[in-house]
Amino acid sequence: MIIDKNPTFIGPTTGIQGLFHGAWYYYLLIIPFLLFGGEPIGYYYFNFFLQLASYLALLYFSYKYFGLLTTFIFSLLIATSPYFIFTSIFVGNNIFVMPTLLIFILINYFLLNRFSKKLNTLTFLSGLFLGLIAEFELAFGLFIIPSYFLIILMINDFRTIYLSSRNLLYFLVGLAIPFIPRFFFEIKNNFTQTKILFSNLTQGSAQNVNSYAGAIQDRIILFYDYYKSIFFNDYLLLFFTIILLVLLVTALNNKIKKYDSALIFLIPLLSFLFLFAALYKNNFFWGNYYEGIQYLIIFILAALLTIQFKTESILFSTCKLFFALAILVSSTSMFIKEFKSKPTNSGNLKSQIEIVNHIQKSEKNNNQYCVKVYTPPVIPHTYNYLFLHKKLSEKIETPRSDWVNRACWYIVEADQNNERRDEWLDKNIPRVAKMTQKKLFNDVEVRHYEIE
């Protein structure tokens, strides 16, 4: 968009042919492109600092509204969670749902508790970030938008806010803004995506026909995995789950009515997301469709831990304190162990840069050469960008996708789907071609073929 001065109205593919995520992912990446001069590592720095800022904002909010001990527990859980560690160093359109979802939750917390008199601003922002969630991860948007409308109808406090035509107008304007680029794309292309989307929702996938019972069972496992991914080992998972069960039993026995009002919003939202996922039974439902839902679960857990008893429960307070100490000791031990371990380059940016450098150093004619890339699911955007960056920074031409002088380089990544990989290789490597070079970069093969 910057180099060719050609703004796009649509984003990355969703995995369904002809259906795409929103373009805002690309517009957001303009920031690190300008800040770091197009350096590939700049996008990873940008994502890391964005996720770190979200983490600090969450801790500040939690300390102010949920207390010190609860904040301490969840700060350690997030900082050591394999899920949050991975997403802080992985750049993808779905990852940017996380800070967007977090802000959306906070805005609605303020709406529900009337912490601000500027309801117009909050309803506008609620719609805006709800739309951005959909544009960063289309599947999430398809489920969270109707869920939110149902919650507005169901919760009296929300219903009162949105009954004001002025508040509702601000909300709808905010919701519409993120979809403007997609709307332009649809007008230009005769609403092809809209047709594909309705066809997919109504007809489903013939490859994944499922019963409602089977879909519910699958979604229970999926949501348990979301919950489990917050904890870095099973012992902490078990310990914390026992504490929650003790809390819930105690709360029911004491007929507790005083709890954080956020639960009135958060639990129905999570329930509707589960319900719509279960109704989506005849289609593949990947875990990243609900990227960042762990933030929603964490808010629910934090709100549960702030339930106030008429008489302070010594057992409950002691359990929370012991859990905080347990996670502190475990996380410190894990940090020391990880610090001493030697990192690998498998599948990361450094390894991919080494592959590009190897090809261009080995190639005798860097003005005209051929490179073909196999990477599941056959979308070599990273390699394309690395070759483009080399052209911009070192004036080395980008490779062609057709054979040049009866020779071509092949970058072949590992794939658990061996049939898909073998089929691609069979179609893209001429039978008369002979392999003249082969080098392994961790689990990625770099091959050079020639035709005599």
CA separation for the pair 372, 428 (Å, rounded): 8
Rounded alpha-carbon distances, angstroms, from residue 59 to 53, 135, 182, 278, 400:
10, 26, 35, 32, 49
Nearest to 105 by CA among 304, 295, 307, 302: 295
Bridge partners for 80 per DSSP: none
C-alpha dist (Å) from residue 440 to 183, 254, 400, 410: 45, 64, 22, 12
Angle between helices 119-136 and 24-35 (to 10 degrees): 90
**Matching residue, tokens 């350096």:** 39
Only one residue has tokens 């919701």, namely: 175
pLDDT of residue 260: 62
Q: Which helix (H) or strand (E) holds 434?
A: strand 434-441
d(CA 51, CA 59): 12
DSSP secondary structure letters along 160-210: HHHTSHHHHHHHHHHHHGGGHHHHHHHHHTTTHHHHHHHHHHHH--TTS--
Residue 27 phi/psi, 5° resolution? -65, -35
Q: Determine phi and psi for 346, rounding to 5 degrees.
A: -60, 125
CA distance 386 to 378: 16
| 268 contact partners, CB below 8 Å, separation of at least 6 | 147, 150, 151, 154, 155
* pTM of the shown model: 0.86
Positions of the chain with pLDDT under 50:
345-346
In the prediction, which pLDDT does 250 show?
A: 72
Distance CA 174, CA 168 (A): 10
Q: How far apart are CA 12 and CA 1, in angstroms?
A: 14
Could you tell me which of 334, 304, 298 has the C-alpha nearest to residue 319? 304
What's the CA dihedral at 141, 144, 146, 151 to 10 degrees? Answer: -160
Segments of 31-188 assigned E as strands: none
Residue 159 phi, psi (nearest 5): -60, -40
CB 288 within 8 Å of CB 305: no
What number of other Cβ atoms are within 10 A of residue 303's Cβ?
A: 22
| Segment (H or E) for 32 | helix 24-35
Residue 292: CA count within 13 A, CB half-sphere: 26
Q: How many helices (H) and strands (E) does the chain have?
A: 19, 4
pLDDT of residue 338: 75
258: which 2 tokens? 């005083």
Backbone phi, psi, residue 372, to 5°: -115, 140
- Name the pairing type of β-strands 407-412 and 371-374: parallel
- Per-residue model confidence (pLDDT) at position 28: 94
- Bridge partners for 372 per DSSP: 410
User: Residue 381 contacts by C-beta under 8 Å, 6 or more apart in sequence?
Assistant: 12
446, two tokens: 């770099």
Give pLDDT, residue 343. 58
Angle at CA 295, nearest 5°, toward 90 and 122?
110
- Tokens 């409950």 map to which residue? 316
